[in-house]
Structure 1
Amino acid sequence: MAVEPALLLEETKVAKSRKVLIIFIGIAFAVLSCIAVGLWFFLGNDADERKAARAATQAQDAKVNDSREAFYVGMPRPFLFNLPGADRSRLVEIRVQLMVRGSDDDVLIKKHIPLIEDSLLTTFSGANVQALSSLAGKDELRHLALLSVQNTLQSVTGRRVVEKVLFTGFVMQ
């Protein structure tokens, strides 16, 4: 059986056209891959740069806030409240001071003491005896008090004035 030359010629043309098609598909895949990697690289760096810039701005703001002198504003009266316990109610007394930065914030805090006292008393009266019996519970209450005061003053002053809430006296009977 002899193979006709016309069939051989046609098979070689088909084989060559398949090779050319595979080469073009490979080149197209490589080009699309390069474009995708380039876009990911350039767009990904912009997001990273924005995050880095935002972090740098926050760090700079923290340095500016830390560079001002710290003032401690004591609440005029201790907070006295009852907490229900498992076996009996407990009387709790907490003395509080607020740390602010700068004399302007010191004056601003003194102006809003009734609002701050209300916020703190609401926060303190929501605590429970078991939590206040441990150091971690006291730290959590201090953190909740800070957030409460900051959120209350944010709505009035437009910024966070209080940096820390400090318990200068804590008695539970």
Structure 2
Amino acid sequence: MAEEELQVEEGGKKKGKLMLIIIIALVLVGGGGAAYFFLFSGSDEPAAEQLAEADAAVASAPATGGAGGKAEMGTALYVAMPRPFVFNVPGSGRDRLVQIKVQLLVRGSDNEELAKTHIPLIEGTLLQAFSMSNADDLITEAGKIELREQAVTEVQKALKEIEGRDVVERVLFTGFVMQ
């Protein structure tokens, strides 16, 4: 009788292990099927059509330039100024020393070459615009934004006098230190 009970218990343990293996196998197969469904279902045609339409819109957009208009639309390129701008600005308590590292956003390789050609003019214009600022204004984020917008306006005005069009789209501050 003791031997019969032992055989019944061993059979129960084997069935439990077999059921556990079957359940794990079903979960893995079900998970794999779900992953396959989510990864490979649907069509990529709408996304491809949207990309084709966007490319066609960019290609057919008229390039502006010449006497009036913004910078020619093209690839965004960045022209780094060779050295940071270091200048003094007056403040309410005391004068402050400011260092600004600048890069210029231009569109297209033609504008990149023009910007590189006129770096001395751009540096002089930016230094003049920066030195007209006030330390109390430069402490705030709004003051920095205003200085950046003024810098863009001055650089565009200076380059428009020489080249007849906007070469620089934006002036970016990549480093700003005030002591």
Tell me the TM-score normalised to structure 2 length.
Answer: 0.60
Q: Confirm whether residue 159 of structure 1 aligns to residue 168 of structure 2.
A: no
Unaligned 5+ residue runs, structure 2? 1-60
Q: Confirm whether residue 72 of structure 1 aligns to residue 78 of structure 2.
A: yes
Structure 1 residue 85: Cα displacement: 1.3
1:2-81 equivalent positions in 2, closer than 5 A? 61=64, 65-66=72-73, 68-81=74-87
The 1:110–1:87 alpha-carbon spacing in structure 2 relative to 1, beyond 3 Å, is: same
Secondary structure in 2 matching 1:85? coil
Secondary structure in 1 matching 2:159? helix
* CA contact 2:89–2:134 (8 Å) conserved in 1: yes
Structure 1 residue 165: Cα displacement: 0.5
The structure that is helix-richer by fraction is 1
Structure 1 residue 110: Cα displacement: 0.5
Aligned length: 114
Structure 1 residue 64: Cα displacement: 8.9
Residue 137 (structure 2) aligns with: 131
Structure 1 residue 79: Cα displacement: 0.3
Unaligned 5+ residue runs, structure 1? 1-58
Residue 105 (structure 1) aligns with: 111
Q: Tell me the percent identity.
A: 57
What is the root-mean-square deviation of aligned Cα atoms in Å?
1.9
Structure 1 segments (4+ residues) deviating >3 Å: 59-66
Larger-Rg structure = 1
Residue 121 (structure 1) aligns with: 127
The 1:136–1:152 alpha-carbon spacing in structure 2 relative to 1, beyond 3 Å, is: same
1:79-94 equivalent positions in 2, closer than 5 A? 79-94=85-100
Tell me the TM-score normalised to structure 1 length.
Answer: 0.62
Q: Which amino acid aligns with 1:118?
A: G
